[in-house]
Amino acid sequence: MARQMAAREIGRRHYRWRELWLLIVPFLILLLEMFQLPLAQYYKSSISTSTQRIPFSTSILPTVHDLIPILGLIAAVVVVHIALTIFFPKADQVIFPVVALLSGLGVLFALRNGPDLTRGPDPNLGIKQLAWVLIGLVVFLVTLFGLRSMDWLRRYKYTWAVLGLVLVGVTLAHALRTNLNSPTHDQLNFGSTISIQPSEFLKILIVVFFAAYLSENRDVIAEGSIHFGPISLPPMRQLGPLLLMLGISLLLFLGIRELGLALLIYGIFLAMLYLGSGKLSYVLGGLAVFFLLGFIGYALLGYIRQRFAAVGLDMVNWQNWNDATRNFVQNAGLQVAQGLVAISSGGILGAGFGLGHASALVPVAESDMIVSVIAEELGLTGMFALIAFYLFLIYRGYRIAIEAREPFYQLLAGGLTSIFGIQILVICGGNLKLFPLTGLPLPFLSYGGSSIIANFIIIGILLRISHNTAMEREGLA
């Protein structure tokens, strides 16, 4: 008993100074942007009524009352920081400040976008997003406390797989019964106010299943048993459950026209197969199959062709557009074209937070097209900084994976981090017209409760793994 007490004391001796130090500047950034928002709105409303320059006076400065949403968020973040210090002193200290900044910016952009949206203004959008982030922070702590041992995650792997598929199956049935032409199909409505996107949670369940399955069978899979000359394939008996899971989810998502989710799931599969087996040939083979499937999909499914049409759009040469292109830009390609105009009008320094026009002109600016809003208002410099934060988040995630002691934790951390990587790549590429645009949210910045909560669960699992690893390494657990 005395030994345990002593061990615990050694474990608790560290305060998370670095995390606190890293949290200061994000708080300042969030307060500054929140301070700027009412000024920007005042500026925009006055410039439309007068042609003269608007004088600056202290009477138009926002009061503390206007800063309340962000002050509330900061208070919640400080509480979570203290909880982390007391209970998880060894968890990674860089991830949480970055996540706090990103989700705070998400709240700010929802506050900013809400009143301007094309589909119908929603002045409460920011407050709703703030509520989701606060719930997300609670879920984050619950995840950290709940996963004391992650053995049950591994043991009930088939349960998670089935649960995920049932979740999506129910949504699919629901979507087919209602309307296939609405923009998003993977929604479950409870009453009229709350709707969740099961796919956000499905991606976590799939990673847990893949990690548990691969960690048990990775030796066999890495060895490869079927040989065609220099190419070796993993044995079908071991790969079967993975392929089955993959096939079902791909069919489901293609069935409900969620190209982005199908892309995400396939990306996770390839990333985890590589992490588990360390064989590049499997990934290259997987990519070949992917291009083959993509080609078949392109030939068979009209909506995929439509998405690809936007990639070929020549925006720079707009003066020489023919009627067909003009028609395309005003209908099917409207979102991408308007997004690109917004991004280019942002320039290097950006229009300034709250001073752009993207949220009023780009359809679905609050979630799928958030990149174009951010790029317009924060400019190239701001976008570079945000991409850098995402890169560091992903770097820390893979670092946690490398340091973890057991294959299951390594694969779990690596797979969950890959979700972020693929999602950011696909949605940023879609907004920049490099990929076909697909409906994936940008982690922490897009509006959406399910996505925020799912992302906080992922961050919670990552921090728990890093805490467990550090405790084991120092012989304290």
Partner 1 sequence: MTLDVFLLILRLLGIVLLYLFLMQVIISITRDLRKTAEVNLDVGELIVVDSGPSQIAPGTRFKLEPQTTIGRGPTNTIQINESFVSAEHTRMWFRKGVWYVQDAGSTNGTYLNNQPARAPLQARSGDIIQVGFLRFKLSNPLDERRK
* In the complex, minimum distance from the CB of residue 10 to partner 1, in angstroms, rounded to a whole number: 7
85 near partner 1 (CB under 8 A): no
* In the complex, minimum distance from the CB of residue 30 to partner 1, in angstroms, rounded to a whole number: 10
Q: Is 189 helix (H, G, I), strand (E, B) or coil?
A: strand
| CA–CA separation, 129 and 104 (whole Å) | 10
Within its chain, how far is the Cα of 181 from the centroid?
24
Give 51 or 322: the residue with its C-beta nearer to partner 1.
Answer: 51
**Burial class of residue 52 in the structure, from the number of CB atoms within 10 Å of its CB (0-12 exposed, 13-18 middle, 19+ buried):** exposed
Residues forming a β-bridge with 231: 228
118, 365 contact by CB (below 8 A): yes
Contact with partner 1 (CB under 8 A): which of 120, 191, 302, 475?
475
226 near partner 1 (CB under 8 A): no
Q: Is 56 helix (H, G, I), strand (E, B) or coil?
A: coil
385 near partner 1 (CB under 8 A): yes
409, 218 contact by CB (below 8 A): no
Binding mask 310-349 for partner 1 (x = CB under 8 A): ---------------------------------------x
Count of residues that interact with partner 1, criterion CB under 8 A: 52
Which of positions 148-167 make contact with partner 1 (CB under 8 A)?
A: none
Q: In the structure encoding, which two tokens stand for residue 43, read together?
A: 């500026």
101 near partner 1 (CB under 8 A): yes
* In the complex, minimum distance from the CB of residue 326 to partner 1, in angstroms, rounded to a whole number: 35
Interface stretch with partner 1, choices 17-25, 226-234, 270-278, 407-415 (CB under 8 A): 17-25
| CA–CA separation, 451 and 367 (whole Å) | 10
464, 143 contact by CB (below 8 A): yes
Please give the torsion angle defined by the CA atoms of residues 266, 269, 272 and 274, in that order, rounded to the nearest 10 degrees.
-80
| CA–CA separation, 436 and 179 (whole Å) | 23
| CA–CA separation, 133 and 226 (whole Å) | 48
Q: In the structure encoding, which two tokens stand for residue 173, read together?
A: 């049935």
476 near partner 1 (CB under 8 A): yes
> Read out DSSP for 397-466?
HHHHHHH-SSHHHHHHHHHHHHHHHHHHHHHHHHHTTSS-----PPTTTS--HHHHHHHHHHHHHHHHHH
Binding mask 351-370 for partner 1 (x = CB under 8 A): -xx-x---------------
Interface stretch with partner 1, choices 220-228, 327-335, 381-389, 448-456 (CB under 8 A): 381-389
Contact with partner 1 (CB under 8 A): which of 198, 382, 397, 430?
382
398 near partner 1 (CB under 8 A): no
Contact with partner 1 (CB under 8 A): which of 396, 433, 464, 467?
396
119 near partner 1 (CB under 8 A): no
| CA–CA separation, 370 and 157 (whole Å) | 35
Contact with partner 1 (CB under 8 A): which of 14, 32, 236, 289?
32
| CA–CA separation, 85 and 18 (whole Å) | 11
402 near partner 1 (CB under 8 A): no
Contact with partner 1 (CB under 8 A): which of 29, 220, 313, 332?
29
| CA–CA separation, 83 and 95 (whole Å) | 15
Interface stretch with partner 1, choices 53-61, 191-199, 407-415, 435-443 (CB under 8 A): 53-61
Q: In the structure encoding, which two tokens stand for residue 103, read together?
A: 């989700």
Interface stretch with partner 1, choices 21-29, 83-91, 149-157, 424-432 (CB under 8 A): 21-29
* In the complex, minimum distance from the CB of residue 405 to partner 1, in angstroms, rounded to a whole number: 8
Contact with partner 1 (CB under 8 A): which of 71, 83, 94, 301?
94
235 near partner 1 (CB under 8 A): no
Tell me which residues touch partner 1 (CB under 8 A): 3-4, 6-7, 10, 18, 21-22, 25-26, 28-29, 32-33, 35-36, 39-40, 42-43, 46, 53-56, 60, 93-94, 97-98, 101, 349-350, 352-353, 355, 378-379, 381-382, 385, 388-389, 392, 395-396, 472-477
